[in-house]
Amino acid sequence: MIVYLFVTCVAVFLGYSADLSRRAVSQPAGRVFAMENARGTLLSKTALFLLLVTLFIPAALRQATGNDYMRYVEIYHLAAVGARVPTEEGFNLFVRAVYALCGYENYLLVFALFSLATTALFLLAIRRQARFFGFSIYLFMMFGYYFQSYNTVRYYLALAAAFYALYYFLEKEYVPFVLIILLASTFHKSVLIVLLLYPVASLAWKKWHAAAALLLGGSLLMFHEQWLALMLRFYPLWDDTEDLAASGGFSYGNIVKCALVLALAAGIRYIAAGKEPGGSFYDRKVLFGLKCTAMALWIYLFGSFIPEVSRICYYLTIPQVLLLPELLECIPESRLKLKKLLTALVAAAALASFAMFLRKADDSRIRILPYKTFLFHELPGTPSRSIE
């Protein structure tokens, strides 16, 4: 756990360093500020690079850390020898290419490359979309997205790609958005769900939409077996697996988190009622994030029977690392003390969420504790196999 606490502290520090350095360049243009701008840009890029390195190294050096680590080692082997595997073809081709270039089954390199791509996409997505990079990095770490990427490497690569592609969707550049999602689907096809979810979240919701959501939710509760059978046709990997056996039950922590975010938004909306329409609370990105949170809450409440329901909902909750700083910024300057108080409460709630995550990190369903690395730990029973 000491490793994770150290990585988290360094990551948050570098995130705020990159943010402060970037803000230092937002000064009036002119010769007087040219040197300061150049220095601020360099410091910001340096901090961002060091942040990437800080998050990449422990992920790349891990071994047997993650609840499905050994399962992936076996899948890598099966994919490399051309056996039938349940994973997507893009993933299989990637593994075959890495193993062919290495000349042996270098599964450590495969994990490292997945970690590099996933971490880089997450950081680029936050860097490109966040108003307050440092605070968003803090929330990203506190909500556990980084450490959970030690599990289910295919899924978290797809999640990072969807988060990065979100920029293009919000900018209405739909061609690159769709292309990125389609490419990501060759590694984990669950990402295709955002082609439905994100357009729904961008709609102007009416009262009849709420009524339709309640009716659909009722049908999910009443006919969950039929709905599950339909889902298995789209994603047969669930069938006869531990995921299907473990389905059912509410995700209380995620339900509470989504409910608190919506409650915070309602309170800030009331506080900022005097602001003119078109102000920051009415920003398209803010409304999109709130609708995504509402949709995630709806799925958690009515779709609890779905195996690994969070794999769907994380596509909707990951924008919260951008949304929460934006919401706090909607508080008028005349209520500065309240703004500082709510900011502190959000930070404290995120820290509490992180503490609860670490408490169960050694659970068999997560198993990212204890942290093991091939530098100090020899994993028995997994000799490198030649693929010649």
Mean pLDDT of 294-304: 91
For residue 274, is pLDDT > 80? no
pLDDT of residue 226: 77
pLDDT digits 0-9 by tens, 278-287: 446 668 889 9
CB-based burial of residue 265 (10 Å sphere; 0-12 exposed, 13-18 middle, 19+ buried)? buried
Coil, strand or helix at 386: strand
Would you give the end-to-end CA distance of the chain in angstroms? 40
Mean pLDDT of 314-321: 96
Quick check: 364 and 68 in contact, CB under 8 A? no
pLDDT of residue 378: 55
**Crossing angle of helices 310-317 and 153-170, rounded to 10°:** 30
pLDDT of residue 376: 63
Neighbours of 330 (CB within 10 A): 19
**What is the share, in percent, of the chain residues with pLDDT greater than 70?**
85
Neighbours of 176 (CB within 10 A): 13
Mean pLDDT of 24-37: 51
pLDDT of residue 275: 52
Q: What are the φ/ψ torsions at residue 81 (nearest 5 degrees)?
A: -90, 5
Give the separation between CA 79 and CA 86, rounded to whole angstroms: 9
pLDDT of residue 363: 85
More confident residue, 85 or 184: 184
Q: What's the alpha-carbon Rg for the chain, to the nearest Å?
A: 22
pLDDT of residue 237: 56
- The DSSP-derived string for 212-277 is HHHHHHHHHHHTHHHHHHHHHHH-GGGTTSHHHHT--S--HHHHHHHHHHHHHHHHHHHHTTTSPT
For residue 170, is pLDDT > 80? yes
Tell me which residue has tokens 């209520």: 335
For residue 88, is pLDDT > 50? yes
pLDDT of residue 249: 53
For residue 195, is pLDDT > 90? yes
pLDDT digits 0-9 by tens, 325-344: 999 988 888 888 999 999 99
Q: Give me the helices (H) in the chain, please.
A: 2-23, 31-61, 69-80, 89-102, 107-129, 133-142, 145-148, 153-170, 174-185, 194-202, 207-222, 224-234, 242-245, 252-271, 284-302, 310-317, 320-329, 336-359
Mean pLDDT of 218-230: 79
Coil, strand or helix at 104: strand
**Crossing angle of helices 207-222 and 224-234, rounded to 10°:** 90
What band does 222 get if pLDDT is binned at 50, 70 and 90? confident
- The DSSP-derived string for 297-335 is HHHHHH-TTSTTTHHHHHHHHTTHHHHHHHHHHTS-GGG
Mean pLDDT of the chain: 85
Coil, strand or helix at 373: strand
